[in-house]
Amino acid sequence: MSNLQGKTLFITGASRGIGKAIALRAARDGANIIIAAKTTEPHPKLPGTIYTAAEEIEKAGGKALPCVVDIRDEQQIAAAVAKAVETFGGIDILVNNASAISLTGTLETPMKRFDLMHGINTRGTFACSQACIPYLKKASNPHILNNSPPLNMEARWFAPHVAYTMAKFGMSMCVLGMAEELRSDGIAVNAIWPRTVIATAAVQNLLGGDETIRGCRTPEIMADAAYAILTKPSREFTGNFCIDEEVLRGVGVTDFDKYQRVPGAELLPDYFI
């Protein structure tokens, strides 16, 4: 495949950040995007709604279907998948991007926050995959791509925030298992993770503010890397835990300065790398 023209992508958490960047990159090819997210009203600290994202996707050249979806609710997922199939005739790609984060220790993590992270990250990824797989089986080059890290089972990645690590690694375990489970169906299942921290609203609000943002790359690096993965033949590229920079180097990208939020600033490595 050379592009995503006419392909239908179901992207969770696509109203902002990395999810929206992936959507906009696909939209430039003329792809159809299901924006599966919760945000319908503007939030003071989290810019963007499913409707403003839809406008941007349409302007970029794609077709957008904004759907109000809390991925902890399988009925809402099923309704969005049904609407996607009714509107566009099928689903070619699922991007499990939605995620919740709390970098807190065991005593500092309320069970409500624990449940939120596991409900969105691990359970939501599993539920969305389950709902989309019957349609992916009918697609010509089907992909599932999870925004989750390599399975690095070192204590240093668990000790400071064991609940969050468990939830993100749950997404990665979906990759490990489903890639093999769905291999004979020709459905690729891969993970994408950034080498550096990415400048998103979550980073701005929860992980250090302006000082952290200085050392970030923009979401476009993840979008370009995701695009490179999603345009590969699904039967030939599956079960991989990809790092954005490595993916792009593999397709000939040499200029990474364009992705820096602040040119020349020292880049901050992301977790799990």
Q: Which of 51, 135, 164, 227 is catalytic?
A: 164
Three-class SS of the chain: CCCCCCCEEEEECCCCHHHHHHHHHHHCCCCEEEEEECCCCCCCCCCCCHHHHHHHHHHHCCEEEEEECCCCCHHHHHHHHHHHHHHHCCCCEEEECCCCCCCCCCCCCCHHHHHHHHHHHHHHHHHHHHHHHHHHCCCCCCEEEEECCCCCCCHHHCCCCHHHHHHHHHHHHHHHHHHHHCHHHCCEEEEEECCECECCHHHHHHCCHHHHHHCCECCHHHHHHHHHHHCCCCCCCCCCEEEHHHHHHHCCCCCCHHHECCCCCCCCECCCC
Q: Is 164 a catalytic residue?
A: yes
Q: Catalogue the active-site residues.
A: 164
